[in-house]
Amino acid sequence: MASITVRDLDDSLKARLRIQSAQHGHSMEEEVRQILRRALSGKVEQLGLGTRLSERFAELGGLTDLEDIHVTRSLPRTPPNFD
């Protein structure tokens, strides 16, 4: 098994890690291993931009106050003929 050393870790972050690992009933090293496993498990949510924005602003009342934007597009112009 490999091992790593993390230098320049903020004291407050280390304290939070110590508390969280105690709450979960295991060592700080085990807590870090579990955090890394979860973070690197490859389970990346593939949500669309609109869904992510909606979720982000839901606690502020959502995006329902925005007016619907309806854009009328014209047909594309005919490309020039260079013959």
Q: Residues 6 or more apart from 10 whose CB is under 8 A from it?
A: none
User: In which band, very low, low, confident or very high, does the pLDDT at 63 lie, cut at 50, 70 and 90?
Assistant: low
Give the whole-angstrom CA distance, residue 35 versus residue 32.
Answer: 5
Q: What is the pTM of this model?
A: 0.49
Give the whole-angstrom CA distance, residue 55 versus residue 77.
Answer: 39
Q: pLDDT of 3-55, one tens digit each? A: 999 999 999 999 999 999 999 999 999 999 999 988 888 766 677 888 888 88
Average pLDDT over residues 66-78: 78
Give the whole-angstrom CA distance, residue 57 versus residue 55.
Answer: 6
Q: Residues 6 or more apart from 53 whose CB is under 8 A from it?
A: 63
- Given a cut of 80, whether residue 74 has pLDDT beyond it is yes
